[in-house]
Structure 1
């Protein structure tokens, strides 16, 4: 059982880590668009934005419904980062338990 569980938990941990960076890229991308550094008329920029939105919107949309609307500031990425951090801590504890520490 440990032979399968340890690599599985490791993959889950790193997938959560990767997703954290995807959310960060989405936030930075939205700032760049909002401040006019890049525009969505460029096909490459539009494609990158579409990919980032498709990766993050399923997780951010439910959080936006629960969080208060405070105008132009979107708190859902911060809430998602906290959820990811919590899940990483749980997975790390499980991984340490499986390894016998």
Structure 2
């Protein structure tokens, strides 16, 4: 059981890295540091979009419209951190 929870923590850590990468890339694209006409940037951007859209879409349904500001990555990160805290606090019970 402990190994399974450690694998879940690893997957959550990878999810956090992917969300942070998507967040930073979106800022770089919006401030025109990077351009979606560059093939590598476009591949990375659309790949991250395909991975993260199933996570963001249910969150967006519950969040109110914020006038172009998307808070779904922040809510997703908050949820990931909450799950990590719950697992880490209950991990000694399984040892």
Per the TM superposition, whether the score is higher than 0.5 is yes
Superposition TM-score tier, normalisation by shorter sequence: over 0.9
Matches of 2:8 and 2:23 in 1, distance apart? 23
Alignment of 1:71-82 (within 5 A): 71-82=67-78
1:93 matches 2:89: yes
Q: In terms of mean alpha carbon deviation, does 34-43 or 64-73 score higher?
A: 64-73
| Partners of 1:8 and 1:25 in 2: CA distance | 26
Q: Does 1:59 align with 2:55?
A: yes
Report the alpha carbon displacement of residue 97 of structure 1 after superposing the two structures with TM. Answer: 1.0
Instruction: Choose from 43, 50, 56 the match for 1:47.
Output: 43
**Structure 2 residues without counterparts, runs of 5 or longer:** none
**CA apart distance, 1:93:** 2.4
Normalised by the length of structure 1, the TM-score is 0.88
CA distance in 2, matches of 1:71, 1:27: 18
CA RMSD, 1 decimal: 1.0
Structure 2 length-normalised TM: 0.93
The answer to whether residue 15 in structure 2 is matched with residue 25 in structure 1 is no
1:1-42 per-residue CA deviation (whole Å, 9 max, x = no partner) reads xxxx11110010111011011111111111111111111111
Name structure 1 gaps, 5 residues minimum: none
Task: Look at both structures and tell me which one has the larger radius of gyration over its CA atoms.
Answer: 1
